[in-house]
Chain A
Amino acid sequence: MTDNTLLINRLERLRPGRILVWTLLFLGGIVMVTPIVFMAATSFKTGQDIYTLSIIPENPSLENYLFILNESKFLRWMMNSLWVATFSTASVLFFDSLVGYTLAKFDFRGRQIVFVAILSTLMIPTEMLIIPWYMMSRSFGWIDTYWGIAFPGLMTGFGTFLMRQFFMNLPDELIDAARIDGWSEFAIWWRIAMPLVMPALSALAIFHFLGNWTAFIWPLIVSNDPDIYTIPVGLASFNGEFQMDWEIVMTASCLATIPTLLVFLLLQKFIIRGVMLAGLKG
């Protein structure tokens, strides 16, 4: 082992060692995005071209995109996903932070019980609830509705826990001062406390939105009508229909992936910080 240690130490000091590490990491990173690059490249290929591994298509064409937009309900699915994820995220931001704030800053009997009860819901896997949710949706007519897709995720134990942690760090004096000034409790939360936990709120928003955008099993169960599919359910419905037209499937997959990648490229630092935040607190 000593030989090895010496070698690594020396490599570390020498620039070539650094360059080697850098190059290997960079190449590894390129390998990581290869599936995405090939997916995007193939979406512009037609006919025999799809059998070539070239990243830049010989005869680039938008034919596949036109086909997807005309022959499938992809745009509709995209709007469905967007609407459900936005609605659900707004609800989570509002309620998780309201509950988190109440549990952090109000002193009342039963607070601990409520907190533990909400925290305990983190132990319940979605898979165990989907059958009861499905029965509930059948009896209330929520099958094939946006509400049906969204209702299970309108509040989350994770978000509540995260927000509570952040609200606990706010000084009580701030809240007491606002009370003396005659602010209502709701206004204190909404106008004073909320702006101070913006980083946590944005992390929660990104996570919940992304989770909803990619959510699969529940939307798959609660929607039978292709008009109500979200993107993942729509994509899965290709299993059978366009199965052999790989360039079509790749185009649809590409359309599903691009929005999140664009958001990531715009907000990279922000998102990574959010992941670290959630990972360390959670």
Chain B
Amino acid sequence: MKNIKYYAFPSTTKEAVALLLNKRYKAMALAGGTLVAKTLPETVETYLDIKNVPIKNIKLQGGNLVIGAGATFNDIDLSKLCRGWAGGVISAAAAKCSSQLIRNMATIGGNVARPHSFNIFPVVLLGLDAKVRLSSRSGARLVDFQDLYSSGLGLRPGLDSLITEIVIPGKTRKWKCEFVKLAKTESSWESYITLFFSAEKKGKGLAQVRVAVGALSPKPFRAPETEKVLLSGAGPVAAATAFAAELDAARAGEYRASAAASLLKRFAGSI
């Protein structure tokens, strides 16, 4: 923070993006600031506060759930729309983030703007096939969440572009989902592992499954082999065995792999 020369508080997305792109300011966008306010890069000279930018709404649009990037964890925890979507998994995940004081400040946009192992939402959004709306020099564009951190995108959210919305596709509305945060205490920021499971039944089988893992690396990842086993109908025990093997390959460690496999087995048995 010590290199900051300007404090800017734009009131529209357009103004915010213009400030980010203006080389004079060397600006970085902050919302809640809980992750980065204490660790701003030394090259940043303008603290771009987006609290007045109208990107906080949570709404239904075209059958999708659209969460404004400025919505706080508390907003999402209390949102009736979020509580009614995918079994309430988005709200449940928001409620498991750290403490109420953090949940009052931290936003979903900030949580996904840059990868960090202990961020709660990335693993959920990966599992829900979410998309992210980015405003940049070339206008607004919708990108797959899983592509957000790839260098191929050519954008650095918060530095040259602004995340304005998270779009959860309508197909996920009725999915059976579960989010698990395995941590020392409920209000720990750190987690041993975070897990997202989802399934959609079709007849006696499954139409889709998602198994996503967070807290092991800055970017969450899916467990494709475990998903295949679940889709094949091989049953909870076989899925748990496959999951433990995938986590072992990801160097999760024995405790995490064993606990996560048990949790998947419980979920698979409840479908």
Chain B binds chain A: no
Residues of B within 8 A of A (CB): none
